[in-house]
Structure 1
Amino acid sequence: MGKNSAEVVFDETNDENSGVTATLCNWIVGLEKKDIPDSVLERGKHLILDGIACGLVGSHVPWSEQAVDAVLAYEPEGQCNLIGYEEKLGPLAAAVLNGGFIQATELDDYHSVAPLHSASVVLGSLFAAAQVKNIKVRGSSANGQSQDAGPARTVSGIDFLTAAIAGFETGPRSGMAIHGTDLLVRGWHSGVVFGCPAAAAASSKLLGLSAVDTESAIGIACTQACGLMAAQFEGMVKRMQHGIAARNGLFGALLARNGYVGIKKVYERNYGGFLNMFSQGNTKTPRYDVREVVAGLGDVWHTSRIRFKLHACVGGCHGLVEAVESLQKAHPERFSGEGLKRLKSLKVGLSETILHHDGWAPHERPLTSTGSQMCAAYISATQLIDSQVLIAQFAESQLNRDEVWELVNKTSCHHDSQFDKPNHQCGAHVVAEFDDGTTVEETVQMPKGFDPPITNDEIRSKYRRLAASVIDEERIEKIEKLVLEIDQLEDVSELLQLLAKPTRKAVD
């Protein structure tokens, strides 16, 4: 392990006395800028920038606006900003909405071994945590009324960045300990499960909690963890579920900072523990491995392993999009105009995880925007027709096009075990057969963005492209400068206020 960690000796079993949860919490509390490689700090900044781009675009899509209207109808005004809105809400409501905005269009980051959308849970919680008021002590004044415990908090940029990296590291580790992608096979929305401790870790770090209180915060977050993957079909709530995880982690930290005691040893407990319970029903041996939570802690940085999306669909289908794109480039006469009309069938091989998650046959026409972004057959048809898979392809006006559905109905998905290897689960093998008997095929083992990773230059280009669809150039440049120099900011409030200014709609 790195310098900022306590050495723990593990036996070969998942021992309740292994000290894993405590080790993680000690590492979170002790984490400082000097412990983090410069390349990881830069990647952390770019993860924040990418999350902001997604949040700016996602704040005014129809389902986000409906969520805001619903929450404003019952939630009182608070102190925390919302991305793209002038209204302010309490920290828990703000965390839900901001996290939901970042995940709203399927353009945010993902981790391919332990699938979660890190920016939505980490930034959703941190934007709110940075603006929470100090604890009020009941009966502390002469007349028995509550008083502020101290002056208003100021959060520096380096504290914000360090807290974000603590969250970026905790989420994937929590997932890898229970075989990550296996949760998707069994119908759990994995990122919402792993996201709860990630949000708690980030919030606890930003709020300055002790290791003991951070352990309580993670325990409180983990007992709220849940997420049903059936949300991907019809409902809007799939967009919100990572925001719910952000709220759960922040809630744990806010309770724990006032001494409220959560579950201790939440990772290693056998009876009712986080890893034991969420590994129930899997066929792995062992079902879970608590050591993964702290494996390489301080030396191996998952912040650098988080992938950035270039397509506005579920990350598991990015290999499929790129395989179809390669076929289009290699055989333009077959995949355009009259040639495309002669396509007889499209057979798509996917990993076991992605087959369960996204390989389902559409059960209705049209699909919802959510369902269409999670359906491999629809995604491949969209790439074939439009030669791109971006937000515009999933606007309501585009979801019932005959030319797309003709291709959807010619597409079938099956399991291809070559993609079951770690880091290959988002790959795809595509076989296209035409009515003259001609067959062409393409394999993408790993979509662009893992090996080699997307560059920081490409991330900035993505940010500018997305942001330009909803805000003006001056604001784009100010946000980018503040984020990329966040470690030099004395107070992040300037950034949060800039994000809160109204935005235009990206898509109707």
Structure 2
Amino acid sequence: MAHHYTAELAAFVADLKFESLPGAVVDHARLLALDTFGCGLLGSRMPWSRILLETLRDVEVAGDALVWGTDARLSAPGAALVNGTAVHGFELDDVGPGGHNGSVVLTSALALADHFGGVSGRDLITAMVAGIEVAARVQECVGRTPQVKNGFHGPGLLGTFGAAAAAARILGLNREQVVHAFGHAGQQAAGLMAVQHGGMGKRLLAGKAAHSGVLSALLASRGFTNVPDIFEREYGGFCSAFCGGQPVYDLSRLVKGLGEEWFTPRVLFKMWACRVPIHPPLEALRSLRRRHPLPPEEVERVTVWLDEGAVKAVGFPWTPTTVTSAQLNLAYCCAVFLLEDDVSVGQFAEEKLADPRVLELAAKVRAVHDPALEGGPGLGRRARVEVRLKDGTTLSAVGTVRGGAENPVTRADVEAKFRKLTHGVLDAAGQDRLIAACDRLDLLADSAELTALLEIPAPKPDAEEVLR
């Protein structure tokens, strides 16, 4: 089989220039940087990020790349691993075409910028966009089969290519080198849905994708070669393998609209600290609560209709296990929303996971597959919710993920989220400086200005304190 698809995608990455980016793409990339930094600074205080940092510091010599929210420096792959884990570490990072983008593209690009120096804000934006556009097209190519049918975690698969593309752009790789970087990325891509059911493994998925992407680009830059057809190869190629050997992928989608159709502005900013398929039901409950107070003690049943992938991802019964599992569980999140009118950091304190009121309400939430919701623009982007109260009243609403045309998120929303997430990590002046730096990201002469704003000696709170 010809391997021109891999070559064309690699050429796009190698040749991409800031001057070719539409204004709307640049604007969204700047806002994505702010959102990513907010998520990363919050995540830097989480126990999983601390364990990961301590582990790497124990086995690595100090490097040049900053671990955000600390004063620690690691190798570029090591910093990308920790920062990607931190950004994705509380289910608040962006989501959209290609998965969770900031956690893989910005972490990879800035880690290499720290290491090599001489990288401008325009270079960072170009790298971010290259990564997002590549990851989005890999998603378009393979569709939802790897996630929905085979149980792989999309960002761990797609994000590795996004990270490799972003890293390749920072390193200035040529077309042939990017082809090899994609080959390295393909053989390292991984991520299993099973890890969402306990422990800290889910937190690591984006970080490992960032780490693998950086390593892939670095190897390619040194002449470490790989196959030229990682996407096209029928036996053991990325698309075939992760689609179970079935011809359900479309290689033409890897290159369709390159340089003309841009996925970057479609990246959504999450306003709830939980997995994306839970967002539409929460939006529906939020809209219902504007019409009716929905007293928790009066709720008899909550029925949520979702697409097949969403039911598999979040529709399992709630049994108290870990914070991670709670954030990925529809019943828990709906219950805690009805009780506290929010689903953010405070709603996942350890003592709430087995709270009798939460357990009682969670048992009343039922996920149902609705075939009519299949075929939309991504996993779990729409849901129908019906709430039946004990007096017989039935209320229903349709919810969509916030951030799209039907349910937009404003720049003010993203800034408010950033301030909320970084409260206690940055003072007000520090928040203002980082916001201003992201607003003028395309004017920064040196990315070191950003890194300086992210360097903060980290306290060592325990998990209970962080989540309280």
**Bin for the TM-score computed over the shorter chain:** over 0.9
Residues 1:420 and 2:381 aligned together: no
Match of 2:135 in 1: 171
Residues 1:155 and 2:119 aligned together: yes
Match of 1:51 in 2: 36
Contact 1:84–1:500 (Cα < 8 Å) also in 2: yes
Identify the match of residue 295 of structure 1 among 240, 253, 256.
256
Query: Residue 320 of structure 1 aligns to a residue in which SS?
Result: helix
- Write out aligned runs for 1:225-236 (5 A): 225-236=189-200
Match of 2:348 in 1: 394
CA distance in 1, matches of 2:120, 2:166: 14
Match of 2:114 in 1: 131
- In the alignment, structure 2 segments of 5+ residues that lack a partner are none
Q: TM-score, normalised by structure 1?
A: 0.87
- Write out aligned runs for 1:238-387 (5 A): 238-280=202-244, 286-332=247-293, 335-336=294-295, 340-362=296-318, 364=319, 366-387=320-341
Displacement, 1:177? 0.5
* Range 245-254 or range 173-182, more displaced: 173-182
Which of structures 1 and 2 has the bigger CA Rg? 1
Match of 1:149 in 2: none
CA distance in 2, matches of 1:383, 1:229: 24
Q: Structure 1 pair 40/53, CA: closer, same or farther in 2 (3 Å)?
A: same
Contact 1:185–1:352 (Cα < 8 Å) also in 2: no
Displacement, 1:460? 2.3
Query: Residue 471 of structure 1 aligns to a residue in which SS?
Result: coil
Identify the match of residue 466 of structure 1 among 421, 431, 435.
421
Match of 1:205 in 2: 169
Displacement, 1:448? 2.0
Match of 2:431 in 1: 476
Contact 1:23–1:294 (Cα < 8 Å) also in 2: yes
The size of the alignment, in residue pairs, is: 461
CA distance in 2, matches of 1:125, 1:378: 33
Q: Deviations over 1:219-270 (max 9, x none)?
A: 1011101101111111201111110000111001001101110221211121
Displacement, 1:311? 0.7
Q: Structure 1 pair 281/357, CA: closer, same or farther in 2 (3 Å)?
A: farther
Query: Residue 349 of structure 1 aligns to a residue in which SS?
Result: strand
Q: TM-score, normalised by structure 2?
A: 0.95
CA distance in 2, matches of 1:347, 1:430: 6
Q: In structure 1, what residue type is equivalent to 2:412?
A: D
Displacement, 1:66? 2.1
CA distance in 1, matches of 2:93, 2:120: 25
Match of 2:457 in 1: 502
Q: Percent identity?
A: 34
Contact 1:378–1:408 (Cα < 8 Å) also in 2: yes
Q: In structure 1, what residue type is equivalent to 2:32?
A: L
Query: Residue 275 of structure 1 aligns to a residue in which SS?
Result: helix
Contact 1:471–1:503 (Cα < 8 Å) also in 2: no
Displacement, 1:199? 0.5
Q: In structure 1, what residue type is equivalent to 2:454?
A: L
Contact 2:69–2:425 (Cα < 8 Å) also in 1: no
Match of 1:136 in 2: none
CA distance in 2, matches of 1:197, 1:484: 27
Displacement, 1:387? 0.7
CA distance in 2, matches of 1:455, 1:436: 38
CA distance in 1, matches of 2:142, 2:328: 23
Displacement, 1:182? 5.0
Q: In structure 1, what residue type is equivalent to 2:193?
A: M
Match of 1:493 in 2: 448
Q: Deviations over 1:350-390 (max 9, x none)?
A: 1111001111112x3x2310000000111110111011111
- Write out aligned runs for 1:87-102 (5 A): 87-102=72-87
CA distance in 2, matches of 1:24, 1:44: 20
Displacement, 1:439? 2.2
Query: Residue 454 of structure 1 aligns to a residue in which SS?
Result: coil
Displacement, 1:395? 1.9
Query: Residue 115 of structure 2 aligns to a residue in which SS?
Result: coil
C-alpha RMSD of the superposition: 1.7
CA distance in 2, matches of 1:307, 1:343: 31
CA distance in 2, matches of 1:410, 1:271: 46
Q: Deviations over 1:411-457 (max 9, x none)?
A: 1111012221322732111122233333222222x222112442333
Displacement, 1:61? 1.4
Query: Residue 142 of structure 2 aligns to a residue in which SS?
Result: coil
Displacement, 1:181? 6.4
Displacement, 1:60? 0.4
CA distance in 2, matches of 1:181, 1:458: 33
Contact 1:96–1:243 (Cα < 8 Å) also in 2: yes
Residues 1:218 and 2:212 aligned together: no
Contact 2:49–2:85 (Cα < 8 Å) also in 1: yes
CA distance in 2, matches of 1:121, 1:245: 7
* Range 464-473 or range 240-249, more displaced: 464-473
